[in-house]
Amino acid sequence: MKGKTNLDLSGKVVLVTGASRGIGRETAVRLAAAGARVAVNYCRSEPAAAEVVREIGQQAFAVRADVGEPGQVRAMIDEVVGRCGRLDVLVNNAATFDLNPFDGDDYERWQRGWRRTFELNIFGAANAAFLAMQVMRKQGGGRIINVASRAAFRGETEFADYGASKAALVNLTISIARGCAKDNIISSCVAPGFIATEMAQSEIDAHYDEIVGQIPLRRVGTVADVANVIVFLASPLADYLNGTIVDVNGGSWFH
């Protein structure tokens, strides 16, 4: 029917990094519900990834890779393409987040934090995008969806490395948008605020009233709040979005 809303991802192959729990897990489940075949990347949590695959069923399979390791990123992309013959959507979701305060007294720890955060959150995403786009170019196009953060725009007082890595990821998104649309590869980005996951739980627990007090909608986000937007960005409904950044933060930060 002409004009019918289309969230159907049947026939599409999607790789979600860091899909063993949290936002990545929910995104994998919802993309599969929309019809996609989903590669569930994990690093340490094999049983959790196996549980995601079990929940989704035959449309899913797990792929182990430390996205911070360039060789493992190559093996991950090769495995997905070897199994499915194509890769339509890459969701760069895997990330690390740790306190690394300006006034710490351990210089080595400070450097380790910056190095590890950038290796995974931005170099890993850029490497996966580079290799995925080689495949996408050959098959006539694809999508890169990056999971950034409100931290990209707000600056962070206790984890500047994380904020800087997410700012770089936003910039990668718009660079791909400008540089790769000629190959029918489009990119977009979500920038969540506080979402109730293992990553954010200790911050939410420690500063609940302050955090919720800054959110006009008066609640932290759910994994579904973010996953639904990613499914939309992966779908034909978002065909004309390129370099778009979607804030998913309940109105807690504007830029």
Q: Which residues bind ligand NAP (CB under 6 A)?
A: 17-24, 41-45, 66-68, 93-97, 120, 147, 149, 192, 194-195, 197-200
Q: Which is nearer to ligand NAP, 13 or 151 (CB)?
A: 151
CB of 133 to ligand NAP, least distance (A): 19
**Can you spell out the DSSP letters for 87-98?**
--EEEE------
Residue 35 contacts residue 6 (beta carbons within 8 Å): no
CB of 3 to ligand NAP, least distance (A): 34
Dump strand ranges (E) for the chain: 13-16, 37-42, 60-64, 89-92, 142-147, 185-192, 244-248
Is-catalytic flag, 162?
yes
Q: Which is nearer to ligand NAP, 20 or 235 (CB)?
A: 20
CB of 192 to ligand NAP, least distance (A): 4
Of 107, 162, 208, 240, catalytic: 162
Count the residues in the chain.
255
Q: Which is nearer to ligand NAP, 127 or 149 (CB)?
A: 149
Cα separation of 17 and 106, whole Å?
A: 31
Residue nearest to ligand NAP (CB): 22
HSE-CB at 226 with a 13 A cutoff on CA atoms is 30
CB atoms inside a 10 Å sphere around CB 115: 13
CB of 1 to ligand NAP, least distance (A): 36
- Residues with active-site annotation: 162
